[in-house]
Amino acid sequence: MAPNAMSPGRLGSAVTISISFALPNTTFPTISSKRVERQLSGSVGPLTSHATKAAKKTCNVLSYGGVADGKTDIGPAITSAFTACKSGGVVIIPSGNYALGTWVTLSGGNAWALQLDGIITRTGTSGGNMIFIEHSTDFELFSSTSKGAVQGLGYEFHAKGDTSGPRILRMYEVSDFSVHDIALVDSPLFHFSMDTCSNGEVYNIAIRGGDMGGLDGIDIWSTNIWVHDVMVTNKDECVTVKSPASNIMIESVYCNWSGGCALGSLGADTDISSVVYKNVYTWSSNQMMMIKSNGGSGTVSDVTFENFIGHGNAYSLDIDQYWASMKAVDGDGVQLSDITFHNWTGTESYGLQRGPIKVICADGAPCHGITISDFSMWTEEGSAQWYSCESAYGDGFCLKSGSSYESYAASTTTVSAAPTGYAAPTMAADLKEAFGTTASIPIPAIPTSFFPGVGPFSRLAGSS
């Protein structure tokens, strides 16, 4: 959904109360650091170092038939090098330009690494996954120079309205791993999916995709995952948690002209718990954060969204359990509980069309334990904005108090005075326009800043 598109949601039947006042400058308690720290259930990342793996064995693709000429299919060379190093070692793709015409499935590796220092460009046209890592443990995918990249040339599909091409990177049943210091660019379909993985760290990543739906940045349905210091440009998911997932820590995320972050889409038997998003900067995107479903069952609980800055986004805080872009699923609705939004600042695009707080919960499963505190956002267009809640219980703004948790019709409050403290910094790398779908997207340098005033946890590989 483009920023200027209006999703009807459940606001059509709202009871509207228009008032004019400045929100009180109320001081709320800071989220407990213990709540953030405990999101991860154990250690993340490879069990042995790259140096240890390299000391055992190195398998350079150039020794297995790879040619850095931008034309010769490197797929067979990667597969052969992996076979030689899958039981312990490092597969090296040195600097240079490579073509990938046949996809690689790298299965069953243990204590190995894939060092991508070159640039791989898609030349094949099959669906599926260009690089598929599965059933592996103690794994690392990285660039030693922070210049390694995969160029998907998705525009060759998208210019024709085609989204049937491949994903760039998918990981399935991979444990104790890291992915870092690489760029994934212009995927024909999703860029990076983590499916049923555990104990992983993803960082220093740049993703740039086309300006259309179906081009997700990072999707996670896994356990004990730390994602930090990533930038995503696309027009669908930025960094999104799907079901099932637990013990997920996501921080220092730069959604730079994107669809924005989300939980979902959520359907039957949803099971998401112990998730933190912290230090998320969102520029010119569909939303800052969305929890989206339509029907369904199961639960989402113990989730925190803290330190969010936004500018130029269509929606800001958006819970929509009647999401019109999703076909309804059987069930009374996913039960949302113990969800905290804390310290949000900045501006939204047009607050009278799409207010900064929209909490529309399922009438069959009213959400409760929702807390909205230190929330100060204001409209960039016009001089008023609204907050809307339906079947939603907790503390803050239009949420209802009490413990009966009965459904109620949407209630919308309109305000015409800006809240105090809404001003927030921007980022120097904010894009002036989207990349579109009809021309090649350039490979970016990995940023060294992903949230205003916050440095990265790990310096870029190869930096002094």
Q: Find how far residue 67's CA is from the centre of its chain.
A: 34
- For residue 75, the cross-strand partners are none
Rounded to whole angstroms, how far apart are CA atoms 313 and 286? 6
Task: Return all residues near 28 (Cβ < 8 A) that are at least 6 apart.
Answer: 342, 373, 374
The catalytic position among 180, 228, 311, 342 is: 311
Q: What residues have CB less than 8 Å from 161, skipping those under 6 apart?
A: none
What is the DSSP secondary structure assignment for residue 62, as one 8-state letter?
A: G
How many whole angstroms separate alpha carbon 159 and alpha carbon 183?
A: 22
Q: From the candidates 117, 236, 318, 320, which is the catalytic residue? A: 236
Tokens of 157: 């599909």
What is the C-alpha to C-alpha distance for residues 371 and 338, in angstroms, rounded to an integer?
Answer: 8
Q: What is the DSSP letter of 388?
A: E
Q: Residues 6 or more apart from 34 whose CB is under 8 A from it?
A: none
Closest CA to 259 of 297, 213, 296: 213
Largest Cα–Cα distance in the chain?
Answer: 72
What would the DSSP string read from start to end of 329-398? BSSS-PEEEEEEEEEEEEEES-TTTS-SEEEE--TTS-EEEEEEEEEEEEESSSS-EEEEEESEEEESTT
Catalytic-residue membership of 236: yes
Is the separation of the CB atoms in 264 and 240 below 8 Å?
A: yes
* Helices (runs of H) and strands (runs of E) counted in the chain: 4, 25
Q: Which residues contact 271 (CB under 8 A, 6 or more apart)?
A: 243, 244, 245, 246, 298, 299
Q: Is 311 left (phi over 0), alpha (psi -120 to 50) or beta?
A: beta
Q: Active-site residues: which are they?
A: 236, 311
